[in-house]
Structure 1
Amino acid sequence: MIDNWRQRRAAKRITSGDGRALKRLRWWQLPFRALYYLPLPDGGGRRTVYAVDIPRRTDPEGGKARAHLYLDGRHHAESKLPAAFPVEGGTIEVAASAFGLKRCHYVTIAGAEHRLIPDPKSAEGRRARIEREHPALSHSISFLSALMLLVGVGLNLLQLAEPVSQIPPIAENIGTFESPVRLPIWLNFALAVGAALGSTERALRLRHSVLDQAGK
């Protein structure tokens, strides 16, 4: 029931495309644009290629980012995020986090999920190439990003718990908490930046968890 409700809401956000051609991804757009592809057989013996273009900027009218769906290189539809585009055999679902995308998947009618293929020239595509060609290095980067996120969020939450526990209603019912960790401002800032970088790297791989949300 909840999934059906979400699909109906997503359908209302979709508007028709204007048929413009898909522009190539330029190197200077790496921090500002994500581009994914989904090749599908159309049932008639040929292959249809869907492309999802997500500029990393908010919509000036609605304040939310938009996803643009292209069909064989032509603008087919667009939607505010989160988006769910009906396509041949299923739906393309797109959702964003504060640090990038957390979802860009093709969900079949049977419920199987497949990640879309990032453009090789995009930041996501370059990260995927490292994972494919240098698995040991990729594993190290993944571990480091998760560690930065865990340490940054954990230490900052630990310090935040002390002033929160001193709020009168909380102090009266639960008691106060004294943080065993007191870090200088510069180090807290460095940990916050590290956590943000960790979440950004994970977003390049469409990884997202409650810890990433806390890192926001």
Structure 2
Amino acid sequence: MSRDEPVTLGEGKRLPRYRWWQQFSRSLFHLQLAGDDGSRQTWSVDVRPGGDADGEVRARLYLDGVHQATAKPPAAFPVPGGAIEVAVSAFGVKRSHYVTPDGSERQLSPDPSSAEGRRARLERTHPAASRAMGAASLVVLAVSLVLGIPQILEQITQIPPVAEMVGTFSSPVQLPAWANISLLVATLAASTERALRLRYNWLLDGGLFGGE
């Protein structure tokens, strides 16, 4: 992970109930750990990938439904035996893992009511369909990369200062407007599908141009 943001203490508020209309605006993950006294604890991470009311993206940590801490991703929340690391991309949460000092890690479980939880249930109940969806998303993003980058480079080199420095570039790929729009829509859908599984690649999922 990149540099973690400072963690501030929580306010003791209760974890809001997950609502059905929050499918693509809220991500919620849970982790079961043993406390110092051996009792079972439920740690939860609540993230609004699109940002809170003020536009800032924050991850909130809860213990048994009570707010403990807040940080802007990428964040690392200390918990018994390790830390919960949280990071987001332009399409959702790309990392929500419990990491121990020896380097082992495991992904937190998505809330069953969330979009991530529904996608995980599809993977359990219909593994073949799930694999097909994952493969389709990968193909769409690879095709988008191959067809999109030459056109983007051509547009960049049309900018006068850039053209003066490096010259112009003519893309061997020239798609009509409707095809580029269709490709963009397919790319957004594919990246969202991968985000629901916390799959992220800096090249395929926007990090190349998004600085992630």
Please confirm whether the aligned pair reaches a TM-score higher than 0.5, indicating the same fold: yes
Report the secondary structure of 1:148's partner residue.
Answer: helix
Letter of the aligned partner of 1:30 in structure 2?
A: Q
Q: Which residue of 2 aligns with 1:6?
A: 3
Once residues 58 and 146 of structure 1 are traced to their aligned partners in structure 2, the CA distance between those partners, rounded to angstroms, is 27
Q: What is the Cα deviation at residue 187 of structure 1?
A: 1.1
Give 1 or 2: higher helix fraction. 1
Q: Which residue of 2 aligns with 1:66?
A: 58
Q: Following superposition of structure 1 onto structure 2, how do residues 86-165 of structure 1 map, counting pairs within 5 Å?
A: 86-165=78-157
Once residues 79 and 27 of structure 1 are traced to their aligned partners in structure 2, the CA distance between those partners, rounded to angstroms, is 25
Q: Deviations over 1:98-117 (max 9, x none)?
A: 00011111111111111000
Once residues 168 and 57 of structure 1 are traced to their aligned partners in structure 2, the CA distance between those partners, rounded to angstroms, is 38
Once residues 155 and 196 of structure 2 are traced to their aligned partners in structure 1, the CA distance between those partners, rounded to angstroms, is 34
Q: Which residue of 1 aligns with 2:22?
A: 29
Q: What is the Cα deviation at residue 29 of structure 1?
A: 1.1
CA contact (8 A) 1:124 1:204 kept: yes
2:46 to 46, 53, 65: 53
CA contact (8 A) 1:39 1:49 kept: yes
CA contact (8 A) 2:34 2:41 kept: yes
Q: What is the Cα deviation at residue 82 of structure 1?
A: 1.4
Query: Normalised by the size of structure 2, how large is the TM-score?
Result: 0.89
Q: What is the Cα deviation at residue 215 of structure 1?
A: 7.6
Q: Deviations over 1:145-204 (max 9, x none)?
A: 111111123211122233445512212xxxx54322211112111101111111111011
Report the secondary structure of 1:182's partner residue.
Answer: coil
- Unaligned segments of structure 1, at least 5 residues: none
4+ runs of 1 displaced by more than 3 Å? 163-166
Q: Percent identity?
A: 50
Letter of the aligned partner of 2:59 in structure 1?
A: A
Q: Which residue of 1 aligns with 2:8?
A: 15
CA contact (8 A) 1:195 1:215 kept: no
Say whether 1:170 aligns with 2:163.
no
Report the secondary structure of 1:28's partner residue.
Answer: helix
CA contact (8 A) 2:3 2:74 kept: no
Q: Which residue of 2 aligns with 1:38?
A: 31
Query: Normalised by the size of structure 1, how large is the TM-score?
Result: 0.87
Q: What is the Cα deviation at residue 15 of structure 1?
A: 1.2
CA contact (8 A) 1:149 1:198 kept: yes
Letter of the aligned partner of 2:133 in structure 1?
A: I
Q: Deviations over 1:79-132 (max 9, x none)?
A: 112111011011111110000011111111111111000001100000001111
- Unaligned segments of structure 2, at least 5 residues: none
Q: What is the Cα deviation at residue 60 of structure 1?
A: 5.2
Report the secondary structure of 1:75's partner residue.
Answer: strand
Q: Which residue of 1 aligns with 2:172?
A: 180
1:212 to 167, 190, 205: 205
CA contact (8 A) 1:149 1:215 kept: no
Report the secondary structure of 2:173's partner residue.
Answer: coil
Say whether 1:193 aligns with 2:185.
yes
